[in-house]
Structure 1
């Protein structure tokens, strides 16, 4: 697909979550649930990688003191582009805007959020448009949940959270009847077919606590170049 600005913005917004934020807890808490809150740094880096140009940074002033910074883009043609400008509360303002100079610190803690967001956006933009579609927006991100169904409440919470962010969610389901070895094998293969349809695998559970079946699904996803992330609840 041709990468339009609408498609890039749509892919970014469907890819934001807590794992792609980079901001202090105080700053995030003040955002009143805004989806773009704390997403500016990783987002601006992804836009720069896709469109080129420079970064601009300004301090965020609140209650008479500076608390945090905000990043956005300036294209090579000099057009300012701020895809997270809607994150601010009415009592916040930007002060001292300046161009970012120097090399990016690839060892910064924010690199993990940037890398995850970059990979998610790339996966969404690679997906072909729906047959007959004339929309310039990217298709929604597709996430397949993996993990133990011993935690149904966590699966439900993750499905709801992702759906509210405009993500298509695929998930294993508990089935009735005896789980014979043959039936368990067939259900495992069915879930691999769900992974084939996804852009990302989201493991519902704590990192490092996966069972054999989930480890197999993670390996399968990685072999196919999918993003793998964790919900990291304490099971």
Structure 2
């Protein structure tokens, strides 16, 4: 076997280390650049192919597009022209924030989670959406924005479903069945960007809270 040294790239993500400062960054700027350059070609391919290209960025390093991707991915089998326009807006946003990356500093390696749910936000079947983000050292390591399988009959029920889903994830992350729940002000909850459409300023704030920096 040959020692190639420290990894600089993995699965389309660049790994940027700064030993002096004790930091590590995961960036997909090159991948996003390739997707942006292929947008004219993507206009000729099935809508689902464009979704898959953007979904990979969202799953790996860009939780801040989770809400938008959750909406456009619902129409893969019956997309219209305005759905493709939405895809192009997501591409424009990624191009404008191409240097945003997950920044792991030397903060305490404590697992912390943020959970939220909307109530009946999906207009076709009135299903609610579960959203959570877990951080280690104040940087995202696990996140999800997903329609609930049931139709919740109240905001309380929707929140309980979300907490149950997120609790399973944190038990796996911590390998510990002890959970501590706490209340957080809506203005300081970064999962707002997964639950609903927010302003640019709010999106920037939520992104920063979970370790997305330029």
TM-score (ref. length: structure 1): 0.25
Structure with larger Rg? 1
TM-score (ref. length: structure 2): 0.27
